[in-house]
Structure 1
Amino acid sequence: MTAATTTTTTAPARLAPQPGEVIDRSRLLEFRWNGKPCTAHPGDTIASALAAAGERVLSRSYKYHRPRGIQTADFHDPGCMVQVGDEPNVRGAHRLVAEGMEVRSQNTWPSLKYDLKAVNGLVGRFLATGFYYKTFIKPEPLWPMYEKVLRQFVHAGTVSSEPSGAVFDKRYAHPDVVVAGGGPAGMASAVAAARTGAQVMLVEEEHQLGGHLRWGTAGDLAALRELRAQVAAEPGIEVLTNSVALARYDDNWVPIVQRGLPHVFERLIKARARSFVVAPGLIERPYVFEGNDLPGVMLSTAVRRLINLYAVRPGQRAVVMSANSSGDAAVEDLRRAGVEIAAVVDARRGEHVVRAEGRGGVRSVTLADGSQIACDLLVTATGWTAPTSLLNMAGDLPVYDPGSARFVPDPAVLPDTVLAAGGVVGDGTVDDLVAHGHAVGQEAARRAAHTADVTRAQLPTRPDHATTTGEAHTPRPVPPLRPAPHPELFRSSTHGFVDLCEDVSSKDIVSAVKEGYDSVELVKRYTTVTMGPTQGKLETVNAVAVLAEATGRSIAETGTTTWRPMYAPVTLGALAGRVPEPVRHSPMQPWHERHDATALVAGQWIRPEHYGDPAAEVRAVRERVGLIDVTPIGKLDLRGPDVAKLLNLLYVNKWSKLPVGGVRYGVMCADDGVVMDDGVTGRLGEDHYLMSTTSSGAATVWEWVEDWLQTSHPDWQVHVTPVTTAYASMNLAGPRSRELLARVTDVDLGSDAFGYMQVRTGTVAGVEDCVLWRIGFTGELSYEIHVPASYGLHVWEHLMEQGRDLGIAAFGVEAQRVLRLEKGHFIVGQDTDGLSQGYTAGLGGLIKLDKADFVGKPELVWQHQHGDYPVLVAIQPEDSRIVPAEASQIVRSDGRIAGRITSSRMSPTLRRSICLGQVDPDLAAPGTRLTVHLPDGADITARVIEGHAHFDPKGERQRA
C-alpha cells in the first residue's frame, strides 16, 4: 500500500447512546480548557470530554515536549496529566468533569499547540541517557545556576501559595476482609465473604464497580448487573469506589485513599484487615515501536472505554494490531462506532507495526512488510501486565511465565492472610473469574474468622462460646486459574518509547547497558524508566524485555524491579489527614450557648470567655457568688502505695506528710529547672490521690508521669488514669459560696470540718461520688466541684437555680483571669516562658532543696546559688487609667531591656490597672520605679509593690 493524505480530525466525536455508557445525557456541564469554553455530560472524565470535542493533544512530554494524547483512557494514562484550578498533576483520564472546572495543560509555553520547549527534541542526541549525571557535575560553583535552569524544565503543574480550601480526612477501620479490586472476581470475593457473616470493605479505583465488564458485550453487561445486585444486597459490604488500596504492611495494615466524597476531597482510611484479597485484574501493556507516543496511538482497552463508557468515537480510520481477544473486540466496537478499519494486523501470525508517522497525531502506519497505511488511529492489543505490587509488598516475588508473556504471582509464598483472585492469577471466562473470586472470598472469610478466634482465645475474659471449631475452620478449595497462552510481544524492529512518562526510549536502555548498567535496578535509576507517575504499571515488563534483549539474558533471568509503597500516587493532604485538633466541649456547653456566652478557643476546648460583661462578672464573685466551668482542667487519678514517692519526684515541694483529706499546691519543673506545670493534688484515701494540672498541660503531664514511671521507676506501684473528661468541673466562688453549696450537698462545710486546702467526697445536687476541693485561685472563698461528666449539666443548672436569690452569676475565663491577677496568682506559659526557672516565678518558699532528689533540682540549686535571674513581681502603673499591653518592655534609662509585662488588666475591684511582670533582680525590690515602653512608643512609669497580690494580700477572704 502507499500512503494517502489524511488530516487530523477536529470534529466532535460523540456517538449515539451506548448500552453501558456512564454519562448523563440529560445535563450539560460547562468547563474551560486552556481558556476555551467546553461542554461535557455528568460522568465524563476530562479526557473523554475533550476527546468528544475533537481534542487530540492533551499534554506535552516530560523531556522532549512531544505532543501526547489519550493512550489508556484510565487513571494510569501518561498523556492526560493536567492542571485543574490550583491543583497540579491531575489524572485527566480519571477525574470527572465538574461545573465551572478550569483545566489547563501543564508546563507548556506559550501554548499547548506551540510549545517552545519542544526545541529539546531537536537536540535530543545531546540529552542522552544519564546526561544530567555527566553534565551538571563540574564546576561546582555553577550548581546554583544549574538548579535554576533545571527547575524551569520540571514537568509538573503549579502549586498555589494560597490555601486550597480542600478538606482532608482520616478514618480507622477494622474490617474482616479487604478486597482490593472491584472487577468480577473482586465483587464475587466480597459477596462470598459477606455471606459468611464477614464485614467486607470492597475497594475499586474506578468510579464504578465492574472492571472490564463495564465496556464489554451484552453478556458482560448482564453479568455486571447481576454482580452489582449481589453486592448491593449484602449489608456487610462497604463499597469504596474512586478509591485505591495504597499498600500492604505487616499484619494487613492497608492504607486506602478514598476520593470524591461530598464534603471531603480525600480521606485516608487506615484499615487493619484480618484477610486481604488482591484482585486488581490486568493492565494492558503498550507496544514499543517508532512513533508509539503519537496522539492517536491507543490501547485496545482505551478505545473500548471511550466508545462504550463515554460514547466517544476515537478516530475516523483505524489500523488495529491484535494479538488477543481484546484487540478483536476492539475491532468490532470500532466498526459499530462508525470507524473505518483500514487494516487488522494479526500479531498472532507474526504481523506487526514498524512505525507510526505524523505531526501532532498519527497520519500513517508502516507495517513489517513495508506497506504504509493512512489512518488517524492506531490500536494495539499486544499483551497484559499483572499488577502484583500489593502482593509483592506481602512477600511475593513475581515469576515470569513465557507462555503467557507476563509475570505472575506465586501464591505459595504469600502469608496465610493474603490471597489473590481473578485476572492477576490467571485468565478465564467471566464465569471462571467469578467462580475463582467466590472461592477466594469464602477462604478469606474463613481465615479471617480463624484469626479472630486466635485473638479471642488469648483474652482471659472471653466467653465460652467465643471460638468456633470443626467445619467452620475447614479450608475452602480454590479452583485453579491459569494464564492463557499469549505471544511475547514487547518491541518491534524499531526503537520507541518504553516509558512515556519519562521520555525513556528502548534505545536509552540499550545505551545504558553499553555503559555497564546491566541490572534492572541500575537501569531504572540511571535512565529513570518506571520512575514516572505511572510507576511502572505500563512500562516495567517492556523495560525488562528490552534490557534482556540488550544483555542476552532471558526475561526470567533479568527479573523485575522491586515494588514498594505506594501503589498509586497519594497527596500530602491525604497522608496528613484532617487537622488533629479535636474540638472539645464541656457537658455544660448547651447552657453556655443558651446564655449567649462568647466562645473562647482554648487549645482543644471551647470555653466561655464571658457572658457579656466581664467586669460585672468579677464584681459578682467579689460581692456575692459566681460559678465558672473549669472542666478542661487536667485530672489524673493516682492509686498505689508509692504515689507519694512519685509526687516527691515530680513536684518541687514535699508530699510525704499530706494527710488524707488534704490538698497541696505543687509546681513541676522540667529537667532544666524551667517551670513546666502547676496545680493541686488531693489525697482522697490512703493510697488514692487526685492530681489536677493546667488545662493546656493535661496531656503533657500525663505523658511526663508515665515516662518517669515506665523508664526510671517501673518498680513503683502506681496506677495512673487520666480522668479529665470523666468529670465535669466547676468552681463556685465568692463570699456566699458556702451558703449556696450547703443547700445542695451532704458534705459538712463548716470551717473546722472543711478547711482551706482540703478535699472531701460526697453528694452534690443528688449526684453521688462528687469530689469537692476548697481552694482559692480567684482569691475568694471557693469550692472546686468535680462531678461525673454525665451529670455536669444537671449540677450546674441546679446550682444556678438554688443560687438565684443569692445573686449568683456565671463568669467566664476573662473574669477568672482578672480575679487571679488581682490575687497575684501566676499562669504557667503566660507569666513564665521557656526560660523561667522555679525561682524566677517566685517559688522560693515552695522549692525544697533539702529533698534527696526531684526533677530539675540540680538546675534549681545552680539558679539559687547564682541568684542572677529575672524575678516575677507585681506592678502598678502610676497612672491607674493606663493598662500596658502584655509583652510591653520594661527598659532602663539607657534603653536596655530589663524585663516585660506578662499580665495586665483593669481591675474592677480596685478600679485601677494592675500587672505582673518579669524584671531584672536589681529592679525587683518593692517600691522600685520602672519605665514601661508601650507598643505606641510612649513610656509610662510604674512601681513594684510588695508581694504578688494586688488584693487581699493576707488571704483572709479565701480562708474565711
Structure 2
Amino acid sequence: MTQEQIALAGTGAMRLGRQEGEVIDRRRTITFRWNGKQQLAHPGDTIASALAAAGERVFSRSFKYHRPRGILTADHLDPGCQLQVGDEPNVRAAHRLVEADMDVRSQNTWPSLRFDVKAANGLVGRFLSAGFYYKTFIKPERLWPVYEKVLRQFVHAGSISPDTAHDYYDKRYAHPDVLVAGGGPAGMSAALAAARAGATVLLVDEQGALGGRLRWGGPAELHELHRLTAEIAAEPGIEVLTDSVVGGRFDDNWVAVVQRNLPNVVERLVKVRAKSFVVAPGLIERPYVFEGNDLPGVMLSTAARRLINLYAVKPGERAVVLTANPEGDGAVADLQRAGVDVAAVVDARHGTTVTRARGRSGVQSVELSDGRRIDADLLVTAVGWTAPTSLLNMSGDKPVYDPRSARFRPDPARLPDTVLATGRIVGDGSFSEIAAHGAAIGREAARRAAGIRARWQTQVPTRTPGEPVAEVPAKPVEIPDLTPAAHPELFRGHTHGFVDFSEDVSSKDLFTAVAEGYDSVELVKRYTTVTMGPGQGKLETVNAVAVVAEATGRTIAETGTTTWRPMYAPVTLGALAGRIFEPVRHSPMQAWHERQGAVPLVAGQWIRPEHYGDPAAEVRTVRNAVGIIDVTPIGKLDLRGPDVPELLNLLYVNKWNNLGVGRVRYGVMCAEDGVVLDDGVTGRLGEQHYLMSTTSSGAGTVWEWVENWLQTEHPDWQVHVTPVTTAYASINVAGPRSRELVGRLAEGVDLSPEAFGYMNVRTGTVAGVPDCVLWRIGFTGELSYEIHVPAAFGLHVWEALMSAGADLGVAPFGIEAQRILRLEKGHFIVGQDTDGLTQAYTAGLGSLVKLDKQDFIGKPELTWQAERGGYPLLVGLQPIDGRIVPAEASQIIAGGRIVGRITSSRMSPTLGRSICLGQVEAGLAKPGAVVTVRLIDGRNIPAAVTPQLAHVDPEGERQRV
C-alpha cells in the first residue's frame, strides 16, 4: 500500500475534507488497535475522534445498566469515552491523543462491547432504583462476603497488572505574580495584559492548545486565535501549561496545578503560590434531560463543532438540532457545511422541544413535543450553559442563580482581593467585549500582585535599608461590565432521562429520592450518587438541582447547589505523591570524608560516613587512644526566655527547674500515649539561654513538637525557639586522650576534671574559632567532648584536630563504630531499640520518669503503665556462644510464643564476643535468665540476660575521669 493509499484509508468512513481549523496532520497516518482490531488515525486525533472517523458510535457501556454510550461532549468531560489503554485504565479517550501502536479496549464489557451480558441489568432496572444499595444486601449478615464478591464484579473500571512498571511522576514549585486558570479568549487577554503590566504570569488550560471556543469557530474566531497565540508566544513574562488543569485553590492562593503528558512524565503536580489568581474557565454546555438522551448519536452542539472543525469528523448522516442559543445556530451551519442532512431545526426559544430519542445501539429517530417523529442518526442539543464556579467556590464564593440567563453565576463580592474572575463565567458578550474584560482583569490582577510583592519586600529581614520598593499603581483598574445573555430555562423535557451519565442516575430516580424524604439537594446527591461519578458534577449539577427543584416545588435558587471541593479534576495518586524533594544534606567536612575513602551512609536527609574501611579498628582507636566523629546532623534547638524551664518540664519526663548554668542534663520525650518520642541532652548556657540536642532523625519532628505545644497550649510562655542544626558543624572527640587533644586547641576553657566535669557545658574558642559550644557527654562510653562550631569553620576545626592529634594516634570513626561503641556501653537508640509501642518504662527509663511532677506530656499513660506493671523491658543480652551474632529483629521465644526480640546486635571488638540489646517480657528480664533466640536460619540459641544494659564499663568510670 502506498503512502497516499494509507493516508486515504486513514481518513475513515466519516472523515471530512480539510477544515480550516483542523488539528490533525494529514501528511502522516498511524495505526492503533481498538478491541483487537487495527485502526488508522492521523497525528493530532484523539482516540475518540479517530474511532468516530472510522464510523464507530459505541465506545463504552454505562455503569449500572450497561447501556451503550457514545460521544457526548468530545472533550475531557465526556462520560461515554473512558477506555482502557494498554495497562492504564479510565483513560479519557475524547481528550487523550492517539499514538502509534496504542492498544485501546472498552472497559468492563463481556464478552464484547457489542454483546455485553451485563446489559441484562436493564431488564431489572426497576429493582435498581435510587438508594437500592442502602436497601438490599443488608441481611443476612453472614452473606456479606458473598455480596461483596458479587458486587466487585460490577465495578465499572479497567484493570492494571501488578507486573506493570512504575510510571514516573513529578513535582514542581512555582511562584508567579498572576496565575490564570483558563486559556480561552478572556484568559489569554488577561495573561497578556498582566504580563505587559510587569507581572510574571502562569497561564493554564485543560485542552491541548490555547484558544477555548475560538478553536472550533469560524474564520473570524480563528483569526483572533492566531493573533492571541502569537502575542502570547512573543511575551517572555508568560509561561503556558496546556493539557493541564487547576485542581484546587487553597488558602492564600496556594493552587494545585496538574500538568499531564510531559515527555517521560505521566503527570506533574505543580504547587503554585500566586499573588493574584484569575479564574477564566468559560462555560460548560449542559445536556438536556429526556428519554433516550444517553443513546450514541445524542451529543452537545459543542461536541459536534469540535468533531467537525478540529478533527474533520462528520458526526452523523441525518441530524435533528435542538437549539436555544447562538451556539446551536452555529452548529447547524457547521453540520450543513460538513454535508450532514439537517432534517429539522427545533428552536426551543419558540417553545418546541425534544420528547425522546429512540434506537438500540444509537439514535434512529427523534420525537418532538409537537408530535412529529423524525428519522435521524444524530441529535444535537444546545439548551444552555453551566458556569464552572468550583475554583471560585473554593475561594469563598457562593454562586447565585440567575433565572434570566438560566445559570448560576459567581458573586464577586464574596471573593478575596487576590481572586478575580473573567470571561463567560462572569457574563456574555462579543469577542471584543470578552477580550476587553479579560484585559482589564489582567491589569488589575497585576496591580494587586505588585502591591503584595511590595509588601513582601518590606518584610524581608535581609533587605538593605533604603532599598527601593517597586511602585504600585494606587488607582484600581476600571472593569467593564459583562452581562449574561437571556436564555430560556431548559433542563428537562416532558419525559424522564439520565441526569448523571457516569452513575446511571435518571430524573425519575431523583423524583423517587425526594418522595422518600430526601428533599435536600445535598442528601439527594449522596442517596442517589448523582454528580459523584468521574465527571464530579460538571455536566450534571445544574440539571440535578433543577429536577430536585421541580420535584419539591421549590425554585432553583431556593434549592441551591451542592458543594464543590478540591480536586476539580481527577488526579492520580502518583501525581499527589510525585517526585520526593528530599534535600541532600551533608556536613562541611563531607569533602574531607570522601578524600579519606569513607563509605557513605544515607541517614534520612543526610549523607554520613559509615566507616573508613575497618569499623572494628575504629572502635579500638576510641577505646585506646582518641577518635573524632562528624555528628553535625544531631538536632540542635536554641531556646531563650524566662519560661524555658517550664517548657522543658512539659516536654521531658524528668525535672528541669534546678539545672544550673553550665550544666547538661539527659532527657527523654514521650508522646501523649507515653511512647518514647526522642531523647537527647540540653545544656544551660546562660540565665535564659539553653541549647537542646535531639536525635539526628528526630530534629524536625521535635522542632514541630516544641512549636506545637508553645503555640497551641502555652502561647503565654515567653520562649523563643530557633532551629540551629545546620548552623553548627558538630564534632565528637572521644577516647582516653581526648582531653589532651582538645586542650591543645581550646582557649578560655579550663578542661580539668574539677572545672569541667561530666555532664557540663562551656563556651569558648577552639582552633581560633570563637563562640564554640563544648559539652562533656559520653554516648561512646569514653571520656569525650562534643564540640559545636559555627558551620563555616567546621572543616577548619576538623583538620586542626587531626593535625594536633597526630602524635596521639587520632583517627576518624564513622557511624558503624559509634553504633558498636554505644551498644558496648548499653545506650539505646530511639527508633532502633524502641518502636511505636515502647513506652518509657519499657525502655528502662523508670528512674528518669518523675510522676511527682505536676504535669508533662504522656504522664497519664505512664502513670497507668507504672501502676499496671508487667510491661516488657529492654535488657542487655549475651549469646552463650559468643561467636554468634543474632540478626537484629530476631525473635525471642518461649513455649512456642514470641516473648521478645533482639533490637541491636554486634560483635564487640572490645570484648571479642557478640553482644545485644533486646526487649523481653518482664518475667524473663531478671539478670542471669537464659532466653531462646530464634535465628533467621531457623536455629535456636541460648542467650543470657546481663545485670545491666552496659557490656563495657557498667560503672561509667571511663567517661567520668
Q: Same fold (TM over 0.5)?
A: yes
Partner of 1:775 in structure 2? 777
CA contact (8 A) 1:745 1:764 kept: yes
The verdict on how the C-alpha distance between 1:244 and 1:718 changes in structure 2, with shifts beyond 3 A counting, is: same
CA contact (8 A) 2:749 2:763 kept: no
2:684 aligned partner, one-letter code: R
1:444 aligned partner, one-letter code: A
Of 903-912 and 106-115, more deviation after overlay is shown by 903-912
CA contact (8 A) 1:30 1:37 kept: yes
Partner of 1:787 in structure 2? 789
Partner of 1:428 in structure 2? 429
* Displacement after TM superposition at 1:814 (Å): 1.6
1:696 aligned partner, one-letter code: S
Partner of 1:830 in structure 2? 832
The verdict on how the C-alpha distance between 1:437 and 1:628 changes in structure 2, with shifts beyond 3 A counting, is: same
Partner of 1:569 in structure 2? 570
CA contact (8 A) 1:322 1:328 kept: yes
Of 644-653 and 785-794, more deviation after overlay is shown by 644-653
Once the two structures are superposed, residues 797-816 of structure 1 have per-residue CA deviations (whole angstroms, 9 ceiling, x without a partner) of 56556666766544322221
The verdict on how the C-alpha distance between 1:637 and 1:543 changes in structure 2, with shifts beyond 3 A counting, is: closer
| SS of residue paired to 2:311 | coil
- Written as runs of structure 1 = structure 2, the 5 A alignment for 1:261-340 is 261-262=262-263, 264-271=265-272, 273-339=274-340
| TM-score after normalising by structure 2 | 0.86
The verdict on how the C-alpha distance between 1:885 and 1:74 changes in structure 2, with shifts beyond 3 A counting, is: same
- Does 1:884 find its partner at 2:883? no
Of 945-954 and 874-883, more deviation after overlay is shown by 945-954
What is the alpha-carbon distance in structure 1 between the residues aligned to residue 881 and residue 518 of structure 2? 82
Partner of 2:721 in structure 1? 720
- Does 1:116 find its partner at 2:117? yes
CA contact (8 A) 1:738 1:749 kept: no
* Displacement after TM superposition at 1:670 (Å): 5.7
What is the alpha-carbon distance in structure 2 between the residues aligned to residue 567 and residue 919 of structure 1? 52
The verdict on how the C-alpha distance between 1:794 and 1:114 changes in structure 2, with shifts beyond 3 A counting, is: farther
What is the alpha-carbon distance in structure 2 between the residues aligned to residue 889 and residue 741 of structure 1? 44
- Written as runs of structure 1 = structure 2, the 5 A alignment for 1:591-610 is 591-593=592-594, 597-610=598-611
The verdict on how the C-alpha distance between 1:844 and 1:436 changes in structure 2, with shifts beyond 3 A counting, is: closer
- Written as runs of structure 1 = structure 2, the 5 A alignment for 1:202-281 is 202-248=203-249, 252-262=253-263, 264-271=265-272, 273-281=274-282
The verdict on how the C-alpha distance between 1:862 and 1:413 changes in structure 2, with shifts beyond 3 A counting, is: closer
Question: How many positions carry a matched residue from both structures?
Answer: 950
What is the alpha-carbon distance in structure 2 between the residues aligned to residue 931 and residue 519 of structure 1? 65
The verdict on how the C-alpha distance between 1:955 and 1:95 changes in structure 2, with shifts beyond 3 A counting, is: same
The verdict on how the C-alpha distance between 1:751 and 1:267 changes in structure 2, with shifts beyond 3 A counting, is: same
Q: Which runs of 5+ in 2 are unaligned?
A: 1-9
- Written as runs of structure 1 = structure 2, the 5 A alignment for 1:87-236 is 87-98=88-99, 101-132=102-133, 145-158=146-159, 165-168=166-169, 175-236=176-237
What is the alpha-carbon distance in structure 2 between the residues aligned to residue 937 and residue 188 of structure 1? 73
1:229 aligned partner, one-letter code: A
* Displacement after TM superposition at 1:900 (Å): 4.7
1:780 aligned partner, one-letter code: E
| SS of residue paired to 1:209 | coil
Partner of 1:408 in structure 2? 409
What is the alpha-carbon distance in structure 1 between the residues aligned to residue 958 and residue 810 of structure 2? 18
2:111 aligned partner, one-letter code: P
CA contact (8 A) 2:749 2:762 kept: no
Of 580-589 and 808-817, more deviation after overlay is shown by 580-589
1:770 aligned partner, one-letter code: C
Partner of 1:693 in structure 2? 694
CA contact (8 A) 1:881 1:913 kept: yes
1:723 aligned partner, one-letter code: V
What is the alpha-carbon distance in structure 1 between the residues aligned to residue 575 and residue 251 of structure 2? 21
1:885 aligned partner, one-letter code: A
What is the alpha-carbon distance in structure 1 between the residues aligned to residue 408 and residue 717 of structure 2? 58
1:390 aligned partner, one-letter code: L
CA contact (8 A) 2:11 2:41 kept: no
1:813 aligned partner, one-letter code: I
What is the alpha-carbon distance in structure 2 between the residues aligned to residue 475 and residue 504 of structure 1? 47
* Displacement after TM superposition at 1:162 (Å): 6.8
Of 855-864 and 266-275, more deviation after overlay is shown by 855-864
The verdict on how the C-alpha distance between 1:402 and 1:108 changes in structure 2, with shifts beyond 3 A counting, is: same
* Displacement after TM superposition at 1:705 (Å): 4.0
The verdict on how the C-alpha distance between 1:30 and 1:734 changes in structure 2, with shifts beyond 3 A counting, is: farther
What is the alpha-carbon distance in structure 1 between the residues aligned to residue 530 and residue 839 of structure 2? 58
The verdict on how the C-alpha distance between 1:852 and 1:399 changes in structure 2, with shifts beyond 3 A counting, is: closer
Partner of 1:72 in structure 2? 73
Of 51-60 and 321-330, more deviation after overlay is shown by 321-330
Partner of 2:385 in structure 1? 384
| SS of residue paired to 2:77 | coil
Once the two structures are superposed, residues 281-324 of structure 1 have per-residue CA deviations (whole angstroms, 9 ceiling, x without a partner) of 12222334443322222222212222332333334444444444
* Displacement after TM superposition at 1:212 (Å): 0.7
What is the alpha-carbon distance in structure 2 between the residues aligned to residue 248 and residue 214 of structure 1? 27
CA contact (8 A) 1:10 1:54 kept: no
| SS of residue paired to 1:206 | coil
1:280 aligned partner, one-letter code: P
CA contact (8 A) 2:728 2:789 kept: yes
What is the alpha-carbon distance in structure 2 between the residues aligned to residue 87 and residue 427 of structure 1? 39
Partner of 2:763 in structure 1? 761
Once the two structures are superposed, residues 351-387 of structure 1 have per-residue CA deviations (whole angstroms, 9 ceiling, x without a partner) of 6555444332334445566666554433333333332
What is the alpha-carbon distance in structure 2 between the residues aligned to residue 714 and residue 736 of structure 1? 47
* Displacement after TM superposition at 1:483 (Å): 2.6
What is the alpha-carbon distance in structure 2 between the residues aligned to residue 247 and residue 405 of structure 1? 26
* Displacement after TM superposition at 1:58 (Å): 0.9
* Displacement after TM superposition at 1:206 (Å): 1.5
CA contact (8 A) 1:873 1:948 kept: yes
* Displacement after TM superposition at 1:955 (Å): 4.7
Partner of 1:5 in structure 2? none
What is the alpha-carbon distance in structure 2 between the residues aligned to residue 514 and residue 838 of structure 1? 59
What is the alpha-carbon distance in structure 2 between the residues aligned to residue 548 and residue 852 of structure 1? 60
CA contact (8 A) 1:176 1:445 kept: yes
| SS of residue paired to 2:119 | helix
CA contact (8 A) 1:587 1:789 kept: yes
1:223 aligned partner, one-letter code: E
* Displacement after TM superposition at 1:472 (Å): 2.2
CA contact (8 A) 1:364 1:373 kept: yes
| SS of residue paired to 2:721 | strand
What is the alpha-carbon distance in structure 1 between the residues aligned to residue 317 and residue 485 of structure 2? 32
The verdict on how the C-alpha distance between 1:793 and 1:166 changes in structure 2, with shifts beyond 3 A counting, is: farther
Once the two structures are superposed, residues 437-471 of structure 1 have per-residue CA deviations (whole angstroms, 9 ceiling, x without a partner) of 111222333344556677889999997898899x9
1:637 aligned partner, one-letter code: D
Of 741-750 and 60-69, more deviation after overlay is shown by 741-750
CA contact (8 A) 1:450 1:473 kept: no
| SS of residue paired to 1:83 | strand
* Displacement after TM superposition at 1:224 (Å): 1.6
CA contact (8 A) 1:747 1:760 kept: no
| SS of residue paired to 1:761 | strand
What is the alpha-carbon distance in structure 2 between the residues aligned to residue 129 and residue 729 of structure 1? 67
Once the two structures are superposed, residues 458-515 of structure 1 have per-residue CA deviations (whole angstroms, 9 ceiling, x without a partner) of 999997898899x923232222222334445444555443332233344545566666
Of 181-190 and 499-508, more deviation after overlay is shown by 499-508
What is the alpha-carbon distance in structure 2 between the residues aligned to residue 631 and residue 460 of structure 1? 27
What is the alpha-carbon distance in structure 2 between the residues aligned to residue 70 and residue 502 of structure 1? 16
1:181 aligned partner, one-letter code: G
* Displacement after TM superposition at 1:433 (Å): 0.9
* Displacement after TM superposition at 1:61 (Å): 1.4
Of 199-208 and 538-547, more deviation after overlay is shown by 538-547
The verdict on how the C-alpha distance between 1:614 and 1:49 changes in structure 2, with shifts beyond 3 A counting, is: farther
Q: Which runs of 5+ in 1 are unaligned?
A: 1-8
CA contact (8 A) 2:66 2:119 kept: yes
| TM-score after normalising by structure 1 | 0.86
* Displacement after TM superposition at 1:906 (Å): 1.1
Partner of 1:903 in structure 2? 904
The verdict on how the C-alpha distance between 1:705 and 1:465 changes in structure 2, with shifts beyond 3 A counting, is: closer
- Select which of 819, 831, 835 maps to 1:817: 819
What is the alpha-carbon distance in structure 1 between the residues aligned to residue 163 and residue 887 of structure 2? 32
CA contact (8 A) 1:617 1:811 kept: yes
Partner of 2:4 in structure 1? none
The verdict on how the C-alpha distance between 1:929 and 1:101 changes in structure 2, with shifts beyond 3 A counting, is: same
